[in-house]
Structure 1
Amino acid sequence: MSDPVSPATVPHDLRAAVRVRPADAAWAFAFRAGLAVAVPLVVLIASGHTAWAGVATFGAFTALYGRDEPYRRRAVIVAFSAAGLVASVVMGTLAALAPHPEIVGVAVIALIGGAATLLCNRYRVGPPAGLMFAFAAAVASALPATASSVPRNAALTAAAAAVAWLIVMSGALVAPDAPRRLAVARALRAAAALHTAPAGPPGLQARQQAALAVDRAWRAVAAGRWAAAGASAGPGDELRAEEILVAHAENELSGVHGRSAEVAAELRALAARVGPRGPIPRLRATPAENARIAERRLGASLLRDLPTPGPGTPRRPLWPAAARVAFGALIAGAAAGVLVHVTGLSHPYWAAVSAVAVLQTASLRLSTQKAIQRAGGTIVGLLLAGLVVSIPGGPWMMVAGIVLLQVVAELLVIRNYGLAMLAITPLALLVGELGHQTPPLDLIGDRLVQTVLGSLLGLAAALLVRNRAANRYLAEAVTAVEIGTDALRRDPADPMLEARRLALLVATLREAYDVAAGEPGLQPEITARVLEAEKSARDSLAVLTHPNKAA
Structure 2
Amino acid sequence: MTTPAHSTRTTNLEGAARAAIAGGAPLALLIALGMPGYAAFAMFAGFTAIFGATEPYRQRMVTTGIAGLLQAACMAAGIAVSMSGAPLWLQGTGLVVVLVVAVCTLSTLQTIPAQPIFPVFAFCVSALVPVRPADLPLVATIIVGSVVWAWLVAMSGAVIRLVLHPRAPHVFRPIAPHKHRSFAVLRTPALWETVGLNVVGALVAGAVAESVPALGHPYWAVVAVVSTLPAIRQRHTVRRASQRVIGTIGGTVVAVGILLLEPSAWWIVVIAVVGQFFAEIFVARHYAVTLLFLTPLALAVSWLSLPEAPELLALDRIAQTTLGAVVSVALLVVGRLIERRRGRALGATGAIRTV
Pairwise CA distance, 1:97: 2.4
Tell me what 2:292 maps to. 422
1:91 aligns with 2:77: yes
Secondary structure, counterpart of 2:112 in structure 1: coil
Gaps of 5+ in 1: 1-21, 185-215, 224-302, 475-511, 520-551
Aligned partners of 1:151 and 1:461: how far apart in 2? Answer: 42
Tell me what 2:243 maps to. 373
Assess, with a 3 A threshold, how the Cα gap between structure 1 residues 411 and 471 changes in structure 2: closer, same or farther.
farther
Secondary structure, counterpart of 1:415 in structure 2: coil
Tell me what 2:259 maps to. 389
Tell me what 1:236 maps to. none
Assess, with a 3 A threshold, how the Cα gap between structure 1 residues 415 and 518 changes in structure 2: closer, same or farther.
closer
Tell me what 1:137 maps to. 123
Tell me what 1:436 maps to. 306
Aligned partners of 1:153 and 1:172: how far apart in 2? Answer: 30
Correspondent of 2:53 among 67, 70, 75: 67
Secondary structure, counterpart of 1:351 in structure 2: helix
TM-score (norm 1): 0.56
Correspondent of 2:197 among 324, 329, 337: 324
Pairwise CA distance, 1:361: 3.4
**Kept after mapping to 1: 8 A contact 2:191/2:232:** no
Assess, with a 3 A threshold, how the Cα gap between structure 1 residues 347 and 26 changes in structure 2: closer, same or farther.
same
Tell me what 2:5 maps to. none
Correspondent of 1:154 among 132, 140, 144: 140
Aligned partners of 1:366 and 1:465: how far apart in 2? Answer: 9
Q: How does 1:328-347 map to 2 (within 5 A)?
A: 328-339=201-212, 342-343=213-214, 345-347=215-217
Secondary structure, counterpart of 2:282 in structure 1: helix
The superposition leaves residues 173-220 of structure 1 with CA deviations (integer Å, 9 ceiling, x where unpaired) of 1215779x8458xxxxxxxxxxxxxxxxxxxxxxxxxxxxxxx6xx45
RMSD between superposed Cα atoms in Å: 3.2
Tell me what 1:30 maps to. 16
Aligned partners of 2:10 and 2:93: how far apart in 1? Answer: 38
Q: Output the amino acid matched with 1:447.
A: R
**Kept after mapping to 2: 8 A contact 1:32/1:63:** yes
Aligned partners of 1:324 and 1:150: how far apart in 2? Answer: 34
- More relative contact order, 1 or 2 (CA 8 Å, 6+ apart): 2
Gaps of 5+ in 2: 1-7
Tell me what 2:97 maps to. 111
Tell me what 2:36 maps to. 50
Secondary structure, counterpart of 2:110 in structure 1: coil
Aligned partners of 1:441 and 1:382: how far apart in 2? Answer: 10
Assess, with a 3 A threshold, how the Cα gap between structure 1 residues 447 and 28 changes in structure 2: closer, same or farther.
same
Aligned partners of 1:53 and 1:99: how far apart in 2? Answer: 21
Q: Output the amino acid matched with 1:441.
A: E
The superposition leaves residues 215-255 of structure 1 with CA deviations (integer Å, 9 ceiling, x where unpaired) of x6xx45xx9xxxxxxxxxxxxxxxxxxxxxxxxxxxxxxxx
Higher Cα radius of gyration: 1
Pairwise CA distance, 1:385: 1.6
Tell me what 2:226 maps to. 356
1:401 aligns with 2:271: yes
Q: How does 1:249-268 map to 2 (within 5 A)?
A: none
Secondary structure, counterpart of 2:113 in structure 1: coil
Pairwise CA distance, 1:110: 3.5
Question: Alignment length, in residue pairs?
Answer: 337
User: Which is worse superposed, 54-63 or 379-388?
Assistant: 379-388
Assess, with a 3 A threshold, how the Cα gap between structure 1 residues 80 and 450 changes in structure 2: closer, same or farther.
same
Aligned partners of 2:205 and 2:307: how far apart in 1? Answer: 25
Identity of matched residues, %: 29
Pairwise CA distance, 1:129: 3.8
Q: Output the amino acid matched with 1:338.
A: S
Aligned partners of 1:149 and 1:458: how far apart in 2? Answer: 38
Q: Output the amino acid matched with 1:442.
A: L
Correspondent of 2:87 among 75, 80, 101: 101
**Kept after mapping to 1: 8 A contact 2:115/2:227:** no
Assess, with a 3 A threshold, how the Cα gap between structure 1 residues 39 and 473 changes in structure 2: closer, same or farther.
same
Aligned partners of 1:370 and 1:361: how far apart in 2? Answer: 13
1:515 aligns with 2:346: no
Assess, with a 3 A threshold, how the Cα gap between structure 1 residues 361 and 375 changes in structure 2: closer, same or farther.
farther
The superposition leaves residues 132-166 of structure 1 with CA deviations (integer Å, 9 ceiling, x where unpaired) of 00000011011112334555433321110100111
Secondary structure, counterpart of 2:52 in structure 1: coil
Pairwise CA distance, 1:468: 4.8
Pairwise CA distance, 1:73: 0.6
